[in-house]
Amino acid sequence: MATRTPNEKLRELVAESGWTNEAAARAVRAVAAECGVELRTNKSAVEHWIAGVRPAARTGRYLAVALSRRLGRLFTPSDLGVAETDDDDSVGLSLDADPIDALLPMWRHELDRRQFLSGSAYSVAAAALPLEYLREISDRSAAAARTGHTVGMAEVAAVRDMVRVFSEMDERHGGQHGRSALVQYLRDDVAPLCRGRFRTEEIRAHMLSAASRGVHLLGWKSYDAGQQGLAQRYYLQSYALAVESGVTGHDGFVMRTMAMQGLKLHRPEHCQGLAETGLNRAKGRVDTRTESLFRVVHAHTLAKSGLRQAALAEARQARVLLDADPGDEVPFWALAWGPPAASVHSRTAKVYETLGDHRAAAEQYARAASSRPAGTYARIVALDLVAGAEMQLKRGNIEQACTIWGQAMDHMHGVRSVRTRKAVTTMRKDLARFRTRGVRCATELDARAVDFLATT
């Protein structure tokens, strides 16, 4: 009978964490729950792992995330001695390599329908990478082999147009539409262009920036599908491409996105640093509408940190910049969520919501929804309306909340999105007590929600 070798590395790390085996098991279950998986891991399981038994592959990944969060260092299952497969769980979680080299295996896993990345958890340790990245990625050597024809602005324009098409499709129909097509386009068309010969360094910068925007969109699609760990990896590589491009403000914009993801997932550890650093990289160097996008997210992180007056002041400054718009062109990469005014209103609403001002939040969510062309931005308009309805419910206005929820569902037709389904499911829970009381609008809306969930 084979003798198992105790896992001394895991024993040492659990001891360093200060956790009991039961506490370690509880942390693993919590990470799994974030990924939509219910585990029954208990202290006996942890004891067996330390004794040399390997956990199931996905459980090993959740264990690595739990210990990374606890100890503030990035671990993979291989680092813990619990990896069962050759899958590299660290792919996409570094910034010290060519971002295309990091993206190619990620795209291969996507197209092969392999699940180990799509089921990965959000990493707090990885969220800090842009803050620790004190030097910009150096330019690829001019002597590096470059194949293919010389790339000019016509190719850059074509990539921007294609990414814009994919982005509009995403907003109109949800993140699950066109995802494989986007992966194939980035892999087969955009990646070779990034490694091509360029007429000028300026054209090279614009191509890398366009590629960054495409990868950012793929991160957003992953986010919309509830795949938070995979979204984070794409955001990191989008950031790497933006830094390498050298386009003013673009890297900070991706840091802004990463701050937004951390806030949404209730992982605020690095959000204020990401938002503030991103703002500092753009402040006074981009147009006023773009700077307002940075400031309003910074305001949200300040509100989450309990800095009420600073948050309100920063939100006001964002609106001042928005209103003072001299008509300068907004960069391609800053239009990820449509008109800047709508994004500023929506994020300002979140500032007020965080600070407990539900009336002001409801007003801002309504302004956000009305500031976007509904036909193009169906999903985000629906989600802003949902958030506004929730604010009305917290104010005790059930009939007004039902009316706004109904408007939100009008926009959800044809949208395939985990977030819209989750919003409708949450709405049903919020309405349950009113259905029990026989409130007519709640009963009618719930019936509509049941039909929606059954057909999407």
pLDDT above 70 covers a percentage of the chain that reads: 89
Give 73's DSSP letter: S
Between 88 and 233, the higher pLDDT residue: 233
Among 202-216, 317-331, 359-373, the least confident range: 317-331
Q: Is the pLDDT of residue 53 over 60?
A: yes
Mean pLDDT to the nearest integer, 376-393: 95
Q: How confident is the model at residue 139 (pLDDT cuts 50, 70, 90)?
A: very low
Q: Is the pLDDT of residue 102 over 80?
A: yes
CB burial of residue 131 (10 Å; 0-12, 13-18, 19+): middle
- For residue 276, the model assigns a pLDDT of 97
Structure token pair of residue 179: 């995802």
Between 297 and 149, the higher pLDDT residue: 297
- For residue 334, the model assigns a pLDDT of 95
Q: pTM higher than 0.75, yes or no?
A: yes
Residue 164: its H or E element: helix 153-173
Q: How confident is the model at residue 344 (pLDDT cuts 50, 70, 90)?
A: very high
198 half-sphere exposure, CB direction, 13 A CA radius: 20
Which amino acid, residue 310? A
- Alpha-carbon span 34 to 257, nearest angstrom: 19
What DSSP string runs through 340-374?
HHHHHHHHHHHHHHHTT-HHHHHHHHHHHHHTS-T
- For residue 138, the model assigns a pLDDT of 31
Could you state, in order of their start, the residue ranges of all structural domains in the chain?
Answer: 8-80, 91-137+149-247, 356-456
